[in-house]
Structure 1
Amino acid sequence: MNKTIFPQINEKNQYPSKWWVIDAEHQNLGRLATEVAKQLRGKNKAIYTPHANVGDFVIVINAEKIEVTGKKLIQKKYYRHSGRPGGMKVETLENLQKRIPTRIVEKAIKGMLPKGPLGRTLFKKLKVYSGVKHPHKAQNPKVINIVN
């Protein structure tokens, strides 16, 4: 009879994490976010377990060159609150893309990860950069090509 293997969190060396680079230039925001979320969760691996952190590290470059369809540049809004009365700030996707382009990709991916402690640890494995340069050359990341 076959046994089901449940990867334990303390077995970090048994299932080492890899590093991947994804170029976001001319990529659709939602399709890119789903692929990155799959890599972070480890759903592409044979040892995938929903409650365990078996995913890989993902580096997203060229976040300022992300694309969206339709009228989302004008109509999609991002909300944040300072915690003070009347502290609600509303910003469109177009304005946020000019100001902080990495936040758009981070929020899209974070919304696709599980909520709670597991999602927070998975989100720490995501690195998003607005340009081509990233400081993770020493990890020898491999390139993933996403086809729209």
Structure 2
Amino acid sequence: MNKTYIPTQESKKNTKWYLIDAKNETLGRLSTNAAKILRGKNETTYTPYLENNTYIIIKNAKLIQVTGEKKHQKIYRRHSGRPGGLKSETFLELQKRIPTRIIEKSIKGMLPKGPLGRKLFTRLRVYSGDKHPHEAQQPQQIYLV
């Protein structure tokens, strides 16, 4: 009979930091790998209803790539909640204005909806440039294949 895995206090204290360089990476492939690591699916102790102590840093968000004509065709929409408050912009416009928002929105859509997904999303750090303030955590570099 299979037994439910319940983590010990020791395993909860071990935090892991991963660093992903988004330079010339495809948006979807980077996002799926990051969401998988945030969920903990790369660990042997994966439990669907528990959060793991994993943090992800993504740098060079302004250099992310998309395939095909998505640069001109992909539209990001947001609504203020007021009548006529719908705002739309293309991938290129959003990349110039807020390059980190593209990756954040993509990964957030791949996480579970509800309290667990919101908690996991707080463990994602996205930076548009090459610098990040998390050198003290000694993040492990991940190379996407």
Same fold per TM (> 0.5)? yes
Q: Percent identity?
A: 60
Q: Which runs of 5+ in 2 are unaligned?
A: none
Please give the TM-score of this superposition, normalised by the length of structure 2: 0.94
Please give the TM-score of this superposition, normalised by the length of structure 1: 0.92
**3-state SS of paired residue (1:95):** helix
Cα 1:2–1:75, aligned 2, differ >3 Å: closer, same or farther? Answer: closer
Q: Count residues in correspondence.
A: 144
RMSD of Structure 2 on Structure 1 (CA): 1.4
Q: CA deviation at 1:34?
A: 0.3
The 2-side partners of 1:80 and 1:27 are apart by 25
> Paired residue for 1:91?
89
Q: Which runs of 4+ in 1 moved over 6 A?
A: none
**Counterparts of residues 1-148 of structure 1 (less than 5 Å):** 3-7=3-7, 11=9, 13-15=10-12, 16-147=14-145
**3-state SS of paired residue (1:25):** coil
Say if 2:75 and 2:89, in contact at 8 Å, map to a contact too. Answer: yes
Q: CA deviation at 1:2?
A: 6.5
The 2-side partners of 1:14 and 1:109 are apart by 25
Q: Which runs of 5+ in 1 are unaligned?
A: none
